[in-house]
Structure 1
Amino acid sequence: MLKKILYADSGADNAQDLLKFLLELPALKGADLSILRVVSPKTTEEESEVKSNAETKISELVSKLGIAEDRVTSMVEEGEPKTTVIKVAKESNTDLIIMGSRGLGKLQSFLSNSVSQYVFQLTERSMLLVKDDIYVKRIKRVMVAIDKSAAAQYALDVALSMFQGDKDAEIYLTRVNPDLKPGLEISQEDIDNNPILSAAAAKVKSRGLAYKCILSGGRPAQKICALAEDYNIDFMVLGSPERRPSVAKNLPDLDRLLGSSLSDYIRVKAECPVLLARQEEA
């Protein structure tokens, strides 16, 4: 499912560390990796030196990752980072974009010309965002936010494909039902009989992965972030559907821009890396 990965390198150590952990997963060892560095257009005299420095940085990263150079496509592109990442992802038919993020919310991202926010708004591809201020660790506890939507089911499929064969991974299937009263004590029987969780659990079990089911009430975005902190989650996968009609694909999604969507809130607030799974339209 994630056969082609594009890593947009800004030099952030924690994003590089997470990439290293991901490439060690059994299911991703055969993935094609492209590492992109975007440089500003320079004069003819400066251009060669700038590109050479960028290529050196990529070589240093490949060494840090501990992978063979023939597994990596190195790319140095001139231009505006935000538009270049989208262009390269489309041209290379990338399944997943990985990049660092400052974790800005609402209009902050727009006004500060945030690269990750712009890419998140306009790409049709799944994105893994690694905030600059979070501590990245080896992945063991993976939270997947579950509801009955197609986007959530796709997020679960992405998580299972990534962690297939990883004996250390445990999938935390998390269902936050806004109709349930926050703080309500929920029995194990209620969790076991929840149709959305039980169906997801059966799918995880069929893949031979360990799992835990969590059922809670409250406001979904806020509660998911709180539960991720409570359970010391290392990595989150969240469905993030494309909601705009085709005629508006190049226009910002105002709900996300204003921070009112679930995916945007969690992108900003979660204290772990968040993979926003987005299924490309056929």
Structure 2
Amino acid sequence: MFKNLLIADSGKGHVEEMVRMLRDLPAFQTARVNLLHVVSEQSKDDSDQHWTKAGSLLAKAVDNLGLNPGDVNSIIRQGDAKQTVLKVADELDADLIVMGSRGLGRLQSILANSASQYVFQLSTRPMLLVRDDLYVRHINRVLVTIDGTGVGDDALKLACDMVKDIPGGQLTGVHVSRTERTPSRGGAGSSDSLLDRAVQRARMLGVTLNPLHVTDADVGKGVCQAAETIQADLVVLASQDRRPLVARGLVDLDKLLGGSVSDYIRVHAPAPVLLVREPEQR
């Protein structure tokens, strides 16, 4: 399923460990690994030292991943990290971007000039965020959000493709509603209908989906609680959060400082988060 992975490696966190876990999954075993390290803009003397250090970091990362150096596309670029990750992802037509994250809140991320938050907010490609404070586990239990939208269907298909070849893999679909379910005349509420359709679609894709309905005034908290309840190893999140269409060079401040569901889950989920965005052409 995945053919082209872009791993943005800073030499810190649990990204390499996460990639090793991914490569144990059939869906990732034939994927091309592109390993990127970005050297910040410095004076020439400092730049030379940074390039040498970057080469050593990438060589160490390849070794830690247990890969043949000839099977890895190692990339060193100079520039602004956040812009460079987006640019390289477009150049490679990456199926998935994998980045580490310090798990900073919205305002902290802005003030700290967080590269992962910036890419998380602006990329239209699937992105996997691995927080530094998480214990990365082998992927067996996957939680996917169910919302009845087109991007929600994309997230469900991606989750099914990942889980179906995992021996003993478990997939749970969660729908969070802000109010209690109101049954229709037939006795089923809208949440039940959404989850029933998701169960049927997953079955057509060869996967048994365990439906889970959660009522919570805060959708992000509801998703995180569901992930905690099932002890999820990975959260696949469908996101329709608005992205800036005029200036990609600016962060979407109203979303970063407002009530972005995906941003809350990014910070608080008890497992790595794989974000699936709605493609721009939709």
1:207 aligned partner: 205
1:162 aligned partner: 162
TM-score by length of 2: 0.89
Are residues 1:216 and 2:237 paired? no
Are residues 1:227 and 2:226 paired? yes
Larger deviation, residues 226-235 vs 51-60:
51-60
The number of equivalent residue pairs is 275
Q: CA RMSD in A?
A: 2.3
Cα deviation, 1:132-173, whole Å, max 9, x if unaligned, reads 111111111100010112221111122122334122321111
Structure 2 runs not aligned, ≥5 long: none
8 Å contact kept, 2:121–2:243: no
Larger deviation, residues 246-255 vs 120-129:
246-255
Once residues 46 and 106 of structure 1 are traced to their aligned partners in structure 2, the CA distance between those partners, rounded to angstroms, is: 32
TM-score by length of 1: 0.89
Alignment map for 1:111-130 (pairs within 5 Å): 111-130=111-130
Provide closer, same or farther for how the CA distance between residues 13 and 121 of structure 1 changes in structure 2, counting only shifts above 3 A: closer
1:241 aligned partner: 240
2:270 aligned partner: 271
Structure 1 residue 246: deviation in Å? 3.1
Quick one: which amino acid aligns to residue 224 of structure 2?
C
Q: Counterpart of 1:124 in 2: which secondary structure?
A: coil
1:102 aligned partner: 102
8 Å contact kept, 1:4–1:93: yes
Structure 1 residue 17: deviation in Å? 0.7
Q: Counterpart of 1:148 in 2: which secondary structure?
A: coil
8 Å contact kept, 1:6–1:98: yes
Q: Counterpart of 2:27 in 1: which secondary structure?
A: helix
Alignment map for 1:175-190 (pairs within 5 Å): 175-180=175-180
Structure 1 residue 123: deviation in Å? 2.0
**Percent identity at matched positions?**
40
Once residues 73 and 115 of structure 2 are traced to their aligned partners in structure 1, the CA distance between those partners, rounded to angstroms, is: 22
Once residues 80 and 249 of structure 2 are traced to their aligned partners in structure 1, the CA distance between those partners, rounded to angstroms, is: 16
Cα deviation, 1:75-118, whole Å, max 9, x if unaligned, reads 01111211211121122221211101111112111111111111
Once residues 207 and 169 of structure 1 are traced to their aligned partners in structure 2, the CA distance between those partners, rounded to angstroms, is: 14
Quick one: which amino acid aligns to residue 236 of structure 1?
V
8 Å contact kept, 1:169–1:210: no
Quick one: which amino acid aligns to residue 211 of structure 1?
L
8 Å contact kept, 2:157–2:205: no
8 Å contact kept, 2:122–2:243: no
Once residues 244 and 134 of structure 2 are traced to their aligned partners in structure 1, the CA distance between those partners, rounded to angstroms, is: 34
2:74 aligned partner: 74
1:150 aligned partner: 150
Once residues 147 and 280 of structure 1 are traced to their aligned partners in structure 2, the CA distance between those partners, rounded to angstroms, is: 16
Structure 1 runs not aligned, ≥5 long: none
8 Å contact kept, 2:244–2:250: no
8 Å contact kept, 1:235–1:273: yes
8 Å contact kept, 1:169–1:209: no
1:173 aligned partner: 173
